[in-house]
Amino acid sequence: MGAFQKIKEKIAGFGKDEFPDEFTDDFIEIDSSADANRPRAKVTVKPYAVEDFSDIKQVIDDLREGYTIALVDIRSLRDKDLVELKRAVNKLKKTTDAMEGDIAGLGDHFLVITPSFAQIYRNKEVEDMQ
């Protein structure tokens, strides 16, 4: 008699309540409705206006939570102080890299920053122009 045939006969020989003790001691019932009732975090697309370097603190705090896509208006800071703008953009880039997110400029006035689970589409022709 083959090995598979022996196993098949042993399994077929057990009734519903006749499992060996070694199998019944570790039985755990799983409630599948528990996961369905747990609220899921939603992704928020949030606009920000950055008028000076200190305004990026709120952007960074929200990004670190992991569920925010930031649309950052840098127009005011760009018109006021280019050095502060570069500092702010570098800080945002470092934060984005640390959280494995993505950052891209949207025209001359906006930055788009996403968490790690999202990616910004970049048109090949636009990248070649830069």
Helix locations, the chain, DSSP H: 3-13, 21-24, 33-37, 56-65, 75-80, 82-98, 124-129
pTM over 0.85: no
pLDDT at 23 over 70: no
Q: What is the pLDDT of residue 94?
A: 95
Query: pLDDT value at position 123?
Result: 81
Q: What is the pLDDT of residues 32-47, one digit of tens each?
A: 565 555 566 789 999 9
* For residues 73-91, average pLDDT: 93
How far apart CA 127 and CA 114 sit, in angstroms, is: 18
Task: For residue 45, list its beta bridge partners.
Answer: 69
Q: Which domains does the chain have, with CATH numbers?
A: 3-36 (no CATH), 41-119 (3.30.110.150)
Place of tokens 């996403």: 114
The SS3 assignment for 110 reads strand
